[in-house]
């Protein structure tokens, strides 16, 4: 995923064929972070913590639904994702890049959870099995696209 042009408002990226397929597959995995994963508080902040948690869960469900619509919109919009024989040209506004980062990181964090929360600095690393190998790959793939977007911002 290479940035080929930017005018400060729009960024144009070029993706090869395999990269385009991988990008599409990563986006199709969204959402991966399970509902209820995020907690409002750890130690207890107010007497209304359960209500605040419910509010948070509701807000996150709304964000997930909105992101799913945005993903579908992007994947079906030839003016932004234009495929050709060499791969595709991806044209994104700053706003697009921001929600795309959130979507990609949902896939990265969700894959990390499903892979057993591997920690490169930790003492224990989950064993890679046929069942979780795909999630290790998704962590790396989502991170690759995130890094490309962050470099362009």
Partner 1 sequence: MPSTGTPVVMPDLEQDQAVRSKDALDPGYLVICWNDPVNLMTYVTHVFQMVFGWPRPKAEQHMLQVHRQGKSVLIRETLERAEFYVHQLHKYNLHATVERDKG
Cβ neighbors of 96 (< 8 A, separation 6 or more) are: 70, 74, 80
Cβ neighbors of 95 (< 8 A, separation 6 or more) are: none
Candidate list 3, 10, 12, 109; residue touching partner 1; CB under 8 A: 109
Spatial contact of 30 and 73, defined as CB atoms under 8 Å apart: no
Candidate list 112, 135, 136, 145; residue touching partner 1; CB under 8 A: 112
Other C-beta atoms lying within 10 Å of the C-beta of residue 120: 5
Name the H helices within 1-93.
17-28, 49-75
Smallest gap, in angstroms, from Cβ of residue 134 to partner 1? 16
Which of 83/102 has CB closer to partner 1?
102
Candidate list 9, 76, 120, 130; residue touching partner 1; CB under 8 A: 120
Candidate list 2, 5, 28, 39; residue touching partner 1; CB under 8 A: 39
**Half-sphere exposure of 45 toward its Cβ, with a 13 Å CA cutoff?**
9
Which of 18/42 has CB closer to partner 1?
42
Which positions lie near partner 1, rule CB under 8 A?
33, 38-47, 52, 55-56, 59-60, 63, 98, 101-102, 105-106, 108-109, 112, 117-122, 139, 143, 146-147, 150, 153
């Amino acid at each position: 995923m290479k940035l080929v042009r930017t005018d400060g408002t729009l960024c144009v990226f070029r993706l090869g064929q395999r990269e385009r397929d991988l990008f599409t597959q990563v986006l199709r995995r969204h959402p991966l972070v399970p509902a209820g994963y995020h907690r409002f508080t750890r130690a207890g902040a107010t007497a209304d913590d359960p209500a605040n948690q419910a509010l948070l869960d509701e807000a996150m469900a709304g964000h997930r639904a909105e992101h799913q619509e945005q993903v579908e919109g992007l994947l079906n919009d030839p003016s932004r994702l234009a495929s050709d024989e060499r791969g595709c040209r991806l044209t994104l506004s700053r706003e697009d890049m921001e929600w795309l980062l959130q979507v990609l990181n949902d896939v990265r964090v969700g894959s990390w959870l499903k892979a057993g929360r591997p920690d490169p600095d930790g003492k224990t690393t989950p064993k890679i099995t046929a069942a979780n190998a795909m999630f290790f790959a998704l962590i790396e793939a989502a991170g690759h696209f995130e890094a490309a977007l962050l470099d362009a911002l």
